[in-house]
Amino acid sequence: MMENMISVVVITYNQEKTISRTLDSILMQQCHVPFEIVIGEDCSTDNTRAICQRYAEQHPDIIRLICNEQNKGIVDNYYDCLLACRGTYIADCAGDDFWTDPQKLEKEVCVMEAHDNVTMVITNWQYFDEQRQKSIPSQQHHHAPITPGRDMLKPIITQYNMSVFHLCTALYRADVFRNAYEEDTFLFRNKGLCSEDIQVAFSMALHGDIAYLPDITLNYSLAQNSVSNTIDDVKQFRFVRKMTDLIQYLASKHHIDISDFLPGRIFALGMHAFRAHQPELYQETLACEKDWHVSRPLKNHLLFVVMSREWLWKIGLTVRQIVVRLKRVYR
């Protein structure tokens, strides 16, 4: 590890239209601390690798390009890049997102240098509509300048609409990540737990304080086919299930009460099963409710009554289609 250097991780796959924008937004950073860019190129089938190679040739002192010989997937690609980082601090920027503030790293590292107890600095951010090429305000929750990490453990694992943090705005301590990784490699590498950012943010909060800057530093790309923003209800069901398994794992291990959170997750699973019209997913939802010892509020009860009878289910889907069409007409 190189003393007082920042490693910026960029993992990318089939992002030939956006990867240059991402790398340019990092290269424009004005920071008194030197930084490197670690790119994990995951066997793209488009022109992404060639673009990354060109940037690496143009900036050999800054960019380290890791070209995977076979596709690893997001999680393994990401953590392999984190473990390859040489810096004291780590930042992230996904291959379809981009930073908007050339002082982003400078502002964050100054907070780190002033507060030894701060393990992660996060900032405000906004969405970016790729079709309209327009920024859209996010529903970012505004934190105190510095919050004890323990107070953020539950909000981090039960966050709604990405309101607690966005890891692509963050700067965090490399040694804290490495220690957490060695202590519980299962948490980071198990494919059944999904996600890669919650594990990092949770580990930072578990071992220190979280600082917040109100500055907007990131444009988060709104992509229609991302894992967490898919229109395929079966895939979304699987995503929500895996995310909830991760939440359950962390909550159980660290004695965090999430009983008020779980009914909403059961309802989300039920709605995906309902829209997909998949009886086996309905049965899996009921099994999750039982295994997780979840109480059943009224809206969950009504949803399950509809799904318990095929004729009611079909009527419910028909009514939903009518409502959706009316909304489109009067939008």
Question: What is the identity of the amino acid at 235?
Answer: K
pLDDT band at 228 (very low <50, low <70, confident <90, very high): very low
pLDDT at residue 217 greater than cutoff 50: yes
- Looking at residue 49, what is its pLDDT? 97
Q: Please work out, in degrees rounded to the nearest 5, the angle formed at the alpha carbon of residue 281 by the alpha carbons of 299 and 260.
A: 40
Residue 145 near residue 211, CB atoms below 8 Å? yes
Residue 213 near residue 108, CB atoms below 8 Å? yes
Could you tell me what percent of the chain has a pLDDT over 90? 84
What is the spatial distance between Cα 89 and Cα 5, in angstroms, rounded to a whole number?
Answer: 6
Instruction: DSSP for 141-157, please give it.
Output: PPPPSEE-GGGGHHHHH
> Between 144 and 162, where is the model more confident?
144
Mean pLDDT of 28-56: 97
Count of C-beta atoms within a 10 Å radius of residue 85: 23
Residue 90 near residue 141, CB atoms below 8 Å? no
- Looking at residue 295, what is its pLDDT? 93
- Looking at residue 225, what is its pLDDT? 47
What is the spatial distance between Cα 13 and Cα 327, in angstroms, rounded to a whole number?
Answer: 36
What is the spatial distance between Cα 81 and Cα 66, in angstroms, rounded to a whole number?
Answer: 8
What is the spatial distance between Cα 271 and Cα 277, in angstroms, rounded to a whole number?
Answer: 10
Report which of 83, 318, 312 is spatially closest to residue 200, judged by C-alpha positions: 83
pLDDT at residue 229 greater than cutoff 50: no
- Looking at residue 147, what is its pLDDT? 95
Mean pLDDT of 201-221: 96
- Which residues, other chains included, contact 174 with Cβ-Cβ below 8 Å and sequence gap of 6+? 1, 7, 82, 85, 87, 88, 89, 90
Alpha carbon distances (Å) from 180 to 40, 116, 195, 264, 266: 22, 18, 16, 29, 30
pLDDT band at 177 (very low <50, low <70, confident <90, very high): very high
pLDDT band at 174 (very low <50, low <70, confident <90, very high): very high
- Looking at residue 109, what is its pLDDT? 98
Instruction: DSSP for 49-73, please give it.
Output: HHHHHHHHHH-TTTEEEEE-SS---
Cα 29 from chain centroid?
23
pLDDT band at 162 (very low <50, low <70, confident <90, very high): low
Q: What does pTM read for this prediction? A: 0.90
pLDDT band at 329 (very low <50, low <70, confident <90, very high): confident
Report which of 121, 261, 138 is spatially closest to residue 205, judged by C-alpha positions: 121
> Between 231 and 93, where is the model more confident?
93
pLDDT band at 193 (very low <50, low <70, confident <90, very high): confident
Mean pLDDT of 49-56: 98
Mean pLDDT of 257-262: 94
Q: What is the pLDDT of residues 275-302, one digit of tens each?
A: 999 999 999 999 999 999 999 999 999 9
Residue 44 near residue 12, CB atoms below 8 Å? yes
Task: Please name every residue paired with 243 in a beta bridge, in sequence order, or none if there are none.
Answer: none
Query: Rounded mean pLDDT of the chain?
Result: 92
- Looking at residue 330, what is its pLDDT? 77
pLDDT band at 139 (very low <50, low <70, confident <90, very high): confident
Which has the minimum average pLDDT: 17-26, 135-144, 282-291, 301-310?
A: 135-144
- Looking at residue 227, what is its pLDDT? 45
In angstroms, the first-to-last Cα distance of the chain is 54
What is the spatial distance between Cα 31 and Cα 9, in angstroms, rounded to a whole number?
Answer: 16
Could you tell me what percent of the chain has a pLDDT over 70? 95
